[in-house]
Structure 1
Amino acid sequence: MTAQLPFQQTGPLQVSPLPRELQTQGAVHKIRTRVGDDAWIVTGYNEVRQLLDDPRLGRAHPYPSAAARSNESALFGGPLGKYATEKADHVRMRSLLQPHFTPGLMHAFRPRVVALTTELLDELAHQDQPPALNAALALPLPILVICVLLGVPYEDRARFRS
């Protein structure tokens, strides 16, 4: 039987047992994406490391119209970028961003991230009903951090998020 994405969960914060079950049967499995395309899931650590280091793999595809789609989104459902320039684009972006994400700078930024997290948690504590953790913390926190890193003015954050 071919597994179908998304994997069923017993609750919103529960991890699906299917990936672990597949892992016991081997490291590589054929699956179907949300829209029914054939794809592969790799559950073995060593195999994933090999794939991440393999220069033949990336986010682009030489024939985008033939690539598997993960969802119906025109922007994010299929391959991203241009296959012919993907490696050069990655090197260029990495060289531009790397100086701004050194371990020292990230360590110095930690108190600001803690403060942003605390603000969001304080807002959660004052809500009348049990909040959706994803909508109240997991989604806005990375966006707020990116806004601070990019210098997005506070009043523009909602617009930036959308």
Structure 2
Amino acid sequence: MTTPPLKLPLHMRRNGLDPVEELARAREDEGVVPMETPCGPPEYLICRHEDVRQVLADPGRFSSALAPLPGFEYVDAEELERLRAGQLFRSDPPEHTRLRRMLTPEFTMRRMRELEPRITQIVHTALDDLERAGKPADLVEHFALPVPSLVICELLGVPYADHARFQQCAVRLLDTSLPMEQRVEAQRENRAYMAGLVARAQAGPGQDMLGMLVREHGDDLSTDELIGIAELLLLAGHETTSNMLALGALALLRHPDQLAMIRQDLAQAEPAVEELLRWLSVVHAVPPRMTTTEVEIAGHAIPSGSLVTCSLPAANRDPALVHDPETLDVTRAATGHLAFGHGVHHCLGAPLARMEMRIAFPALLRRFPGLALADPNEQADFRVSTLVYGVNALRVTW
């Protein structure tokens, strides 16, 4: 017997580096698409840039806290409460505001400037490792994955020696092709690991972020909240940026004219990062929201108690956002894109991710002026079933 092909929801379907044409048609024709749901509340996919902004900017009518955790229906109420604790993207104001206020000082531009020398050092160490590996080498293994992993490990106080363990958990947790039981088990494993780190920080808080939270907010945060915050930051801190580094490199290698602009003028890195964020949109969608009242979007009435999923690739390639959105143009000022979300849930780590990419891409191109795909005809091994889009490997030469 052969395994039937995985049927992905519309917002997760890609054609290489591009969203599928059906998603663009849905944006242009209706803007709102009912999604197939075998059980539970009705769900709608929002595709237009302005409509997505409207949803993300209104936590009162589009609640993150009320949206069910898919696949956790059989988890008892006590465990479900623990799993939600500290998860900023599963909370609404004022609870969300309380949690975020404690973390915001760690992601200010002043804090990013303090981190810049160490991030630069981490990037160059990874490039040394890539060069030592010899050509052809896997850019994911030697560069795209270790750079953000080491950065977030040092920031949080997670031993980098454990990176393979939490990365394997992350892969299973985000892979929608796996049975939900396996994904829930990965969540539990990851949580148990983070619980150990939190206990260590509570016993002797260091100078890392976990230590700071224990010292400064230990009376305001429960142990479950500390574990949830650490889980979220560790997962988001390496998974999204590593896939952006890998897919961004692939996009530039497939568009040599764009790559040449960055190599010739390293000041071009900043707008290039914003354009790559917009054009690639590695996060398919923000976690679903639940409507608290009947709402109207793009002329469609959506009942109260419905789930709303926002397609980031469709919104970021909306002609209402930029001219000629299907073209990668690193010279454009792609302001207003939604790769980091919008509103109260705008990605807390966006300044860190931007800094890592602004340092990493120019450094990669400087170190390897002849960087190229090892086999231009080789089909990229895309991570088609994961909640964060990427490639499993990217073989390059120089």
Calculate the TM-score normalised by the size of structure 2. 0.30
Q: How does 1:38-53 map to 2 (within 5 A)?
A: 39-53=43-57
Aligned length: 144
Deviation at residue 121 of structure 1 after TM alignment: 4.1
SS in 2 for 1:87: coil
**Cα deviations by residue, 1:52-110 (Å, 9 ceiling, x for unpaired):** 11123243326x3xx7x4xx5789xxxx737xx64333112111101111111113323
Match of 2:107 among 101, 104, 107: 101
SS in 2 for 1:54: coil
Structure 1 segments unaligned to the other structure (5+ residues):
none
Q: Distance in 1 between matches of 2:18 and 2:155?
A: 31
Q: How does 1:109-120 map to 2 (within 5 A)?
A: 109-120=115-126
SS in 2 for 1:60: coil
Q: Distance in 1 between matches of 2:31 and 2:117?
A: 39
2:34 aligned with 1:30? yes
**Structure 1 residue ranges (4+ consecutive) displaced by more than 6 angstroms after TM superposition:** none
2:138 aligned with 1:131? yes
Q: Distance in 1 between matches of 2:109 and 2:19?
A: 33
SS in 1 for 2:45: strand
Q: Distance in 2 between matches of 1:87 and 1:29?
A: 28
Higher mean displacement: 41-50 or 140-149? 140-149
Calculate the TM-score normalised by the size of structure 1. 0.62
Using the aligned pairs only, state the percent identity: 31
Q: Give the letter for the 1:90 counterpart.
A: H
Aligned to 2:353: none
Structure 2 segments unaligned to the other structure (5+ residues):
1-8, 76-82, 86-90, 170-398
**8 Å CA contact 1:4, 1:32 repeated in 2:** no
Q: Distance in 1 between matches of 2:130 and 2:43?
A: 38
Q: Give the letter for the 2:26 counterpart.
A: L
Q: Distance in 2 between matches of 1:111 and 1:36?
A: 50
RMSD (Å), alpha carbons: 3.8
**8 Å CA contact 1:29, 1:40 repeated in 2:** yes
Residues 1:141 and 1:57: Cα distance change in structure 2 (over 3 Å): farther
**8 Å CA contact 2:130, 2:139 repeated in 1:** no
Residues 1:149 and 1:61: Cα distance change in structure 2 (over 3 Å): same
Structure possessing the higher radius of gyration over alpha carbons: 2
**8 Å CA contact 1:5, 1:31 repeated in 2:** no
Match of 1:81 among 58, 80, 84: 84
